């Protein structure tokens, strides 16, 4: 890219930060944030330049996501879902997709989807289901072939940005297959796609991660990659968009904790207390360490996507960022005292938002197990992760 994306992201993030409290309180979709992101051309961040986008690498995405996460975590998470869809489409090499058997028509529809993002369309991800979480191999949402394309029926949950996206990346299974055959479809919003407002959660409240009910028919070009059954394989060989892209958002959230913490401590005159300073010193070091792990993972993804060592760093990044955000938010809140727990205080919101990092897939426990298996010389992918 794109020397220009970081300053643009920083400037939008400043405005997002000023609105974060109000969106958290109302739980509304952060429309003004997305107006700004759209105006700054950031919905085209991952879109190749030949299609009107900024052509960012994964490493550049991570830098932008840290900035946005520091501004407003919930907005950065919705943006992350959009970047996952556009980034995975833009970065999967043509040769690889061809080797999987994708028809020529796929490239045309892929370019159409990406060009629309550069023009301001927003995409969301509808993978998780109640009782299943994000385990792709267990999704119950069904698809069947029809004369014109595919019929998709089922229900999703935790769909960030639901009701405000132009299309949803939906994971669905072919129930007639013996092995789990799970495919991705890009399903346009509209008839047959209904949002049920169910999101009233502890943190990341402005993501509006509501339930989505699907009973709709889509054309053949909605099948992502042009081939059926690719979802599980992609999750294993290129885990970055499923595992590590959130990590950068939570590094941003952790950075915001440090900034708002320092401000509060100085305002209250607590910043000279040795115990308080020690908490801030530890928090500062932990955030810097997590940021470095995320940056190293992102650099490796950009240079050697899907490589064994790259994937190891990807899992490390998610674990480091998820745990660091939650632990730093908890410690800094304690240093700041009870007045920072009042509704409306930034540290109160950040404490709740930061708690979500370890819960998003792959959860911290799953990351630790994957990394532990690798550390003792076992194959971490032997146990099914998805
Ligand atoms: C703020 C927020 C936004 C989200 N946005 C989206 C979105 O836009 N789209 C979307 O599809 N989903 C989204 N999700 C959902 C998310 O992707 C997960 O699917 C969901 O958080 C998992 O659900 P769960 O925690 O109920 O269940 P589970 O994943 O089942 O986790 C429950 C417990 O089981 C453990 N566990 C899970 N899998 C394994 C395993 N393989 N091996 C060992 N232990 C395991 C976990 O560590 C955890 O302790 C969002 C979630 C949050 C919190």
Domain that holds residue 107: 5-122
Cβ proximity of 283 and 111 under 8 Å: no
Domain for residue 381, yes or no? no
Under DSSP, the state recorded for 90 is: H
From 193, 228, 263, the end of a domain falls on 228
Ligand 1 and 204: CB distance under 6 A: yes
User: Ligand 1 centroid to 359 CA: how many Å?
Assistant: 6
Task: Tell which atom from ligand 1 comes closest to the C-alpha of 128.
Answer: 11
For the stretch 240-253, pLDDT in tens is: 777 778 999 999 99
Do residues 362 and 347 both lie within one domain?
yes
Choose among 222, 240, 273: nearest CA to 59.
Answer: 240
Do residues 97 and 174 both lie within one domain?
no
Whole-number pLDDT of residue 105: 83
Burial of 271 (0-12, 13-18, 19+ CB in 10 A): middle
Residue with the smallest CA separation from ligand 1 atom 31 is 133
**At which residue do the structure tokens 């919101």 appear?**
349
Do residues 281 and 371 both lie within one domain?
yes
Domain for residue 25, yes or no? yes
Whole-number pLDDT of residue 2: 52
Ligand 1 and 356: CB distance under 6 A: yes
Whole-number pLDDT of residue 11: 97
pTM above 0.75, yes or no: yes
Domain for residue 380, yes or no? no
Domain for residue 37, yes or no? yes
Ligand 1 and 125: CB distance under 6 A: yes
Domain for residue 146, yes or no? yes
Whole-number pLDDT of residue 232: 76
Domain for residue 384, yes or no? no
Choose among 62, 79, 98: nearest CA to 12.
Answer: 79
Which residue positions in the chain have pLDDT lower than 70?
A: 1-3, 236-237, 385
Do residues 56 and 162 both lie within one domain?
no
From 228, 248, 266, the end of a domain falls on 228
From 122, 149, 166, the end of a domain falls on 122
> What CATH number should be reported for the domain holding residue 186?
2.40.110.10
Ligand 1 and 361: CB distance under 6 A: yes
Ligand 1 and 86: CB distance under 6 A: no
Do residues 191 and 255 both lie within one domain?
no
Helix (H) or strand (E) holding 169: strand 167-173
For the stretch 297-352, pLDDT in tens is: 999 988 888 888 999 999 999 999 999 999 999 999 999 999 999 999 999 999 99
Whole-number pLDDT of residue 135: 85
Domain for residue 279, yes or no? yes
> What CATH number should be reported for the domain holding residue 103?
1.10.540.10
Which of 127, 138, 158, 354 gets mutated to test ligand 1 (max ligand atoms within 8 A of its CB)? 158
Do residues 252 and 178 both lie within one domain?
no
DSSP 254-287: HHHHHHHHHHHHHHTT-TT-HHHHHHHHHHHHHH
Domain for residue 170, yes or no? yes
> What CATH number should be reported for the domain holding residue 273?
1.20.140.10
Give the CA distances from residue 337 to residues 257, 330, 341, 349, in Å, rounded to whole numbers and listed in that order: 14, 11, 7, 14
Task: Tell which atom from ligand 1 comes closest to the C-alpha of 127.
Answer: 11
Residue with the smallest CA separation from ligand 1 atom 7 is 159
Choose among 258, 265, 259: nearest CA to 283.
Answer: 258
> How many domains does the chain contain in total?
3
User: Ligand 1 centroid to 198 CA: how many Å?
Assistant: 16
Do residues 254 and 369 both lie within one domain?
yes
- Using DSSP bridges, classify how beta strands 123-126 and 167-173 pair: parallel, antiparallel or unpaired: parallel
Do residues 38 and 99 both lie within one domain?
yes
Which of 84, 130, 133 gets mutated to test ligand 1 (max ligand atoms within 8 A of its CB)? 133
Do residues 249 and 301 both lie within one domain?
yes
- What is the token pair recorded at 382? 């032997």
Whole-number pLDDT of residue 231: 79
Do residues 24 and 112 both lie within one domain?
yes
């Amino acid at each position: 890219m794109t020397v220009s994306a970081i300053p643009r992201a920083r400037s939008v993030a400043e405005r997002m930060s000023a609105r974060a409290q109000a969106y958290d309180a109302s739980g509304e979709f952060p429309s003004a944030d997305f107006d700004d992101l759209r105006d700054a051309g950031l919905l085209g961040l991952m879109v190749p330049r030949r299609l009107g986008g900024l052509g960012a690498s994964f490493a550049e995405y991570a830098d932008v996501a840290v900035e946005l996460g520091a501004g407003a975590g919930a907005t950065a998470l919705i943006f992350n879902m959009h970047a996952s869809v556009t980034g995975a489409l833009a970065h999967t090499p043509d040769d690889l997709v061809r080797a999987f058997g994708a028809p020529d028509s796929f490239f045309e529809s892929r370019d159409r989807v990406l060009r629309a993002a550069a023009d301001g369309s927003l995409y969301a991800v509808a993978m998780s289901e109640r009782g299943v979480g994000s385990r792709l191999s267990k999704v119950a949402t069904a698809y069947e072939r029809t004369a014109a394309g595919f019929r998709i029926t089922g229900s999703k949950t935790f769909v960030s940005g639901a009701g405000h996206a132009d299309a949803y990346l939906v994971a669905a299974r072919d129930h007639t297959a013996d092995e789990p055959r799970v495919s991705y479809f890009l399903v346009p919003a509209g008839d047959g796609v209904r949002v049920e407002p169910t999101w009233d959660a502890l943190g990341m409240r402005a993501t509006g991660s509501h339930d989505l009910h699907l009973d709709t028919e889509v054309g053949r070009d909605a099948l992502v990659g042009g081939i059926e059954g690719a979802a599980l394989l992609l999750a294993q060989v290129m885990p970055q968009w499923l595992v590590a892209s959130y990590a950068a958002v939570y590094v941003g959230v952790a950075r915001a904790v440090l900034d708002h913490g320092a401000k509060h401590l100085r305002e209250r005159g607590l910043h000279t207390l040795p115990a308080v300073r020690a908490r801030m010193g530890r928090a500062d070091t932990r955030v810097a360490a997590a940021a470095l792990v995320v940056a190293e993972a992102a650099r490796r993804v950009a240079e050697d996507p899907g490589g064994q060592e790259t994937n190891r760093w990807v899992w490390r990044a998610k674990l480091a960022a998820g745990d660091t955000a939650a632990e730093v938010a908890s410690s800094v809140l304690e240093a700041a005292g009870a007045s920072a727990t009042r509704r409306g205080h930034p540290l109160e919101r950040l404490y709740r938002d930061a708690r979500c990092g370890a819960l998003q897939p792959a959860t911290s426990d799953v990351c630790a197990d994957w990394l532990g298996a690798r550390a003792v010389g076992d194959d971490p992918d032997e146990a099914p992760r998805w």
